[in-house]
Amino acid sequence: MRNIRLIILILIFSTIPLAYVYGRSIWVPVYQQIAGKRSVDDVVKIYGAEAEERLKPYFDKAGVSYPPSKITLLAIKSEKKLELWSNVGEVPKFIRSYPIKAASGVLGPKIREGDKQVPEGIYELDYLNPNSSYHLSMKLNYPNAFDRKYASVEGRDQPGTNIFIHGKSVSIGCLAMGDDTIEELFVLVTDIGRANVKVAIAPNDPRMVDLRNDTGKEWVSSLYKEITKFFGRYTNDV
């Protein structure tokens, strides 16, 4: 009996860290209902000064004033890297890169709800979430018009949704960036407005290698041409 109790205690305490990490979507909303939710302004008051202090040296080095007028985020799935770019006039300037802490799935576009794929394409931001289960988050407008078009052509009525760039280091189809990084990006987007942000996600870096369509779907070749063209604008100073 004593051994059984010991085993039960070990199992309970060993599952607590897993529940903390992977059960955040369950327990964090409950905690927020008790502790109260934050606004975007609350987040900026808490993290804004330190986030801007960390960001500004990179902008200074690139010769870009802060806050910039617009930014582009380039995500490369195979390298687990997110590049931050801005502009001086019409000239794109590389600001810095961030490691992607987690991105589930494999190379290739997202097809349906529940496939755990990080989508590939060119996106905008729908909104900022100051009460994310993963610290802070920014929602992509997946599925965009391109995604919806080819989902309809193929008869896929559930291409998926709720794709975010967020904190922590757990991903189910999202880009998990860690807390410090999402604080910087969240504050930066708040400073410039989400309408001034573009996000492009590629399987590999199309500036270095040709994107291969191994899916057998012709529309993926069209998608990869768009992604390649978009990435091709961002070649200075990397």
* Residues labelled as active-site residues: 166, 174
| Residue found by looking up tokens 């019409």 in the block | 90
- CB burial string 14-28: b at 16+ within 10 A, e below: eeeeeeeeeebeeeb
In this structure, which long-range contacts are made by residues 160-163, counting pairs with CB atoms below 8 Å and at least 24 apart in sequence? 160/110, 160/111, 160/112, 160/113, 160/114, 160/115, 160/117, 160/119, 161/113, 163/110, 163/118, 163/119, 163/139
Helix axis angle, 145-153 to 218-231, nearest 10°:
170
Q: Using alpha carbons only, what angle is made at residue 233 by residues 126 and 182, rounded to the nearest 5 degrees?
A: 40
Outline where DSSP puts E strands in 79-216: 81-88, 91-99, 121-123, 125-129, 137-140, 164-166, 175-176, 197-202
37 phi, psi to nearest 5 deg: -95, 160
Give the up-direction half-sphere exposure of residue 224: CA atoms within 13 A in the CB hemisphere: 20
In 3D space, the residue among 118, 102, 92 whose CA is nearest the CA of residue 230 turns out to be 92
End-to-end CA distance of the chain: 63
